[in-house]
Amino acid sequence: MTSPVPSSPPASQAPNPFAHARFLLSAAKLTQLPQDHVAEVAFVGRSNAGKSSALNLICQQKQLARVSKTPGRTQLINLFDLPVTAAAATEAAPQASVRARLVDLPGYGFAQVPLEIRRNWGLLVGGFVEQRINLRGLVVVMDIRHPMTDLDLQMLGWCEARGLPTHILLTKADKLGHGAGKNVLLKVQKELRELDPAMTVQTFSAHAQMGAETVRAILTAWLEAPASGDQPV
């Protein structure tokens, strides 16, 4: 009698491909970014929408991205390397090659930040989204209680114009009841069908540790997509 085939482990027990993300650098200008062909996916959203908390949960690291109670603190583009294998993050292989990167873009829309700084952030974020050839996809983070603001729609418009794969995280879903959260999700899905049917959306909660596996699968698909032949900007 043949031995039973072991079943695949549940998704929650599968290795997290983002668990070994490590900080690379912070850039105040686009010219300070690495000039190479390493695939990147970026996170962007309004200040205090929960972007840093989402990154930390996705990567299962408590302080990979700095979480601040003061909106508008992230003023730089922060890059995180994703090693080729888990072994690449160990001391035995400190120089192992990098397979991809995560990018934490400055938050937008915080009124108490000086106007000149807000303008600079807009140029920095807009230039990155519109010009960065390494970019394979963008995760737009929105507080589920305040989704699809004018600035969010502007960001989605940039993505649509470039044809950039885009996924929306409706964060802080634990702040709403199940029914209310479902209604917001359906409303955003309807708006996306009119803007760009290829864009996707999900509910997410760093506090309740909900939704990380879904977005990890999306990021993995983007990063494994065939590379563009264009030169990096």
On average, the pLDDT of the chain sits at: 84
Distance in angstroms (rounded) separating the CA atoms of residues 23 and 76 = 13
Distance in angstroms (rounded) separating the CA atoms of residues 167 and 189 = 11
Q: Give residue 63's pLDDT.
A: 84
Instruction: Provide the pLDDT confidence category of residue 97 given band limits of 50, 70 and 90.
Output: low
Return the residue matching tokens 């994703």.
82
In the predicted structure, residue 4 carries a pLDDT above the cut 50? no
Distance in angstroms (rounded) separating the CA atoms of residues 2 and 218 = 37
Q: Using one digit for the tens of pLDDT, what is the confidence trace for 195-219? A: 999 999 999 999 999 999 999 999 9
Average pLDDT over residues 137-144: 98
Q: What Cα–Cα distance (Å) separates residue 10 from each residue in 13, 14, 64, 151, 218? A: 5, 7, 26, 38, 18
In the predicted structure, residue 91 carries a pLDDT above the cut 50? no
Structure tokens at 37: 């062909």
Q: Using one digit for the tens of pLDDT, what is the confidence trace for 154-167? A: 999 999 999 999 99
Q: Give residue 15's pLDDT.
A: 86
Q: Using one digit for the tens of pLDDT, what is the confidence trace for 24-41? A: 999 999 999 999 999 999
For the chain, list the domains and their CATH numbers.
19-33+42-223 (3.40.50.300)
Q: Give residue 20's pLDDT.
A: 92
Distance in angstroms (rounded) separating the CA atoms of residues 203 and 201 = 7
Average pLDDT over residues 68-92: 64
Distance in angstroms (rounded) separating the CA atoms of residues 24 and 132 = 17
Q: Give residue 79's pLDDT.
A: 95
